[in-house]
A and B are shown apart, each in its own frame.
Chain A
């Protein structure tokens, strides 16, 4: 649901990531007002870690702006929260819209070459063969 003057149209992030992976996040905010407004964006991980910290931009009427940030995936599922604020005529920032997206913890893809053999003249030997 959109805010009064802004709308978070998309939180772009992968649906899963492995622990330790750098996760890129884009929060796209649209100006719903009939004039340019000063907008700020905050991106928070699990309501604790702020990875987009009050980035601001003057967004023309009807336009969108992409606010980018990233975080290191912890060893658990997380939820990204995005918040938009607009600067009022009183000079204060007013909370306007919010959205969220879940990122689940992915499993590390791992495997091992366990055996290598060379067959020649009815003989099989482990590689390397000397």
Chain B
């Protein structure tokens, strides 16, 4: 269960909301920066401007670094740029979180990878050439598909999709949304959150929970929400 209490992230106010297990939820914000801020608050990378948000009953911002990483390892996130590491080919990016969590070779990982590929067959290009390419050579759509495959291998209880349908042609948008919904239904109790800043993308025919942020009087702009090291809490700050 995800619980927002009088929650506000910079520039946008949400108030109270509870996301129940098994639900699909759409959080509407106004800009990409606000969407990145909400994601940062949800994952404990930054504190909310006011109020609190708890994930599975725990406020990630108040957990120790290691405890937070343990929780995040069970959360699947598809950032809008895919969040892939530029130095690794797509397939290595997909298996990276699983490989990081395991100390030894996982015999079943290959089968799970194949199963995930079959699940996403409609979304993937024929052949596996794209899997061997570095993220910089992939299209925005392929990067999101790779991030979705990475999420699938994690089998998360909470899935967060940041602007997953944004800037995609209609066919790709529908394919990706269909995949995320099918994946949502695979596991009872799974919570899916779609963070969107374009109301036209999903809100029109949305049947799940809709949380719409209301703008605050003085929004605080974030110049580049991705160029940060907030996650790297090696405190070299005084130096």
Is this pair of chains taken from one and the same complex?
A: no
Contacts from B to A (Cβ < 8 Å)? none
Contacts from A to B (Cβ < 8 Å)? none
